Amino acid sequence: MSQSVSSDKPFIILGQGIAGLSLVWALIQAGVEPERIYWVGFGKSTESVPSGASWTPVALINPATGPSAKLIPDAEVALSHTYSLIDWIQTMNILHSSPNFHVLRPAASRDMAEKMRQRIQQDSWPAGWQQWLEPDECAAQFPGIFHEHGALWIKQGGHVPMPSFLQQAIEKASSDGITLASTTTSDITQWLEKGTVLCATGASTQSLTTNQHPIWPDLGLHQVKGQMMTIRLQNPDEAPKIAISMKGYLAPTETPGEVAVGSTYEHHFEHTEFDEKGRQKLLGVAKSILPNASFDHESIRGWAAVRVHQPPERLPVIAKHSTISGLYVFTGFGSKGLTLAPAAAVRFTQRLLRAV
């Protein structure tokens, strides 16, 4: 850890999801005294539990993105920071210490299998990070999971149970001396008067105001509605122990025999409720990934959330306000928060501390 940064000016992180957590952790790693950090649950009462923007029961760490499983840039660095963040929280679900925490990416078609194999050859995968499984190998290694066209077995990454993970993060921050707070108002004037404000507020970013004036009217954040659900398997033993990504994803939750299934992506939507269309699509995802499993349809719990990114590259938004001193935005990680945000937070805070 770096030497303590000498200044009395506090840092206020708005948002208690993955982006906000990553900023808290990165500031601590950079040597900022915990007493100078305020971590604010935005849009929540003091009784609310931490949830993050998507309220997901499971977050995936997946270094291979897109239909062809393209390896993310600086994958080793990114996952190293993610693992360090998890270690800091000291959760019981440390991903890289267990052989069960992997990501499996079955190919949905022969064409997709060929594209994935080509992509593996093009990307510079670190040694031991991946293995292509032919159909019979996939069936033997991961029985019950769709295997008709083979699968990419990613041996780094995995899944984290978000409710307990974020709750443990809150408890860790509190025990370390970080000040926790909550606010239900979108006006952040009081925080700007207090110190440097970092907006890790996801879809709520564009609603932030100061003295009733919008703060970030021109960020150009694109909103995407995603629907998710949890469902129990009638035979709990059929529930997989790993995260599976195939035209959607499926991963075990903390409840034995229950899996989380996501996610739909609606770029134009009229409401933000979980609906029948989403329910049927997610059921289709679950059945395609586990074709022989029987699901308890009565156990379905579903919800929708709005995520943001900046088109067309769908990149996160990390920027300093053009006119308001001491105001920054750190958002737009979409579904890749736990994979990308910790590394981004480290780089961002390094520059931030040189500027303050």
Quick: pLDDT tens for 249-302: 999 998 999 999 998 989 999 998 999 999 999 999 999 999 999 999 999 999
- Owning domain of residue 249: 222-309
**H or E segment at 77?**
helix 75-89
**H or E segment at 106?**
strand 103-106
Residues 255 and 296 in one domain: yes
Within a domain: 72: no
**Distances from the Cα of 54 to the Cα of 21, 90, 204, 247, 329, angstroms:** 14, 23, 12, 19, 18
pLDDT of residue 203: 87
pLDDT of residue 99: 44
Distance between CA atoms of 32 and 137, rounded to whole angstroms? 49
Cα angle 186, 52, 72; round to 5: 120
- What is the Cα Rg of the chain in Å? 21
Within a domain: 113: no
Neighbours of 40 (CB within 10 A): 23
As for how many domains the chain has, the answer is: 2
CB 38 within 8 A of CB 195: yes
**Distances from the Cα of 328 to the Cα of 199, 317, 321, angstroms:** 6, 10, 6
32: CATH: 3.50.50.60
Within a domain: 100: no
The 10s digit of each residue's pLDDT in 29-77 is 999 999 999 999 976 544 444 445 457 888 899 999 989 999 999 999 9
Residues 237 and 284 in one domain: yes
Map tokens 């998710």 to a residue: 228
Residues 259 and 291 in one domain: yes
Provide the token pair at 307: 């995520």
Residues 256 and 277 in one domain: yes
Within a domain: 133: no
Residues 176 and 187 in one domain: yes
Within a domain: 259: yes
Strands in 134-288 per DSSP E: 151-154, 158-161, 179-183, 196-199, 209-210, 213-214, 222-233, 243-245, 249-252, 258-262
Question: What is the average per-residue pLDDT within 16-21?
Answer: 94
Residues 228 and 170 in one domain: no
Residues 50 and 172 in one domain: yes
Confidence tier at 6 by pLDDT (50, 70, 90): very low
Question: pTM here?
Answer: 0.92
pLDDT of residue 46: 45
Within a domain: 33: yes
**SS3 of residue 67 by DSSP:** coil
For 106-131, letters b (16+ CB in 10 Å) and e give bbbeeebbebbeebbeebebeeebbe
* Nearby residues of 221 by Cβ (< 8 Å), 6 or more positions away: 203, 205, 206, 308, 309, 310, 317, 331, 332
The 10s digit of each residue's pLDDT in 212-261 is 899 998 888 888 999 999 999 999 999 999 999 999 999 999 899 999 99
Residues 305 and 325 in one domain: no
**SS3 of residue 259 by DSSP:** strand
Within a domain: 239: yes
Residues 46 and 184 in one domain: yes
pLDDT of residue 51: 47
Residues 175 and 51 in one domain: yes
Within a domain: 117: no
Residues 304 and 259 in one domain: yes
264: CATH: 3.30.9.10
Q: Are strands 103-106 and 151-154 parallel, antiparallel or unpaired?
A: antiparallel
Distance between CA atoms of 193 and 207, rounded to whole angstroms? 19
Sheet architecture: strand order including 196-199: 179-183, 37-42, 11-14, 196-199, 327-331, 317-320
Residues 230 and 189 in one domain: no
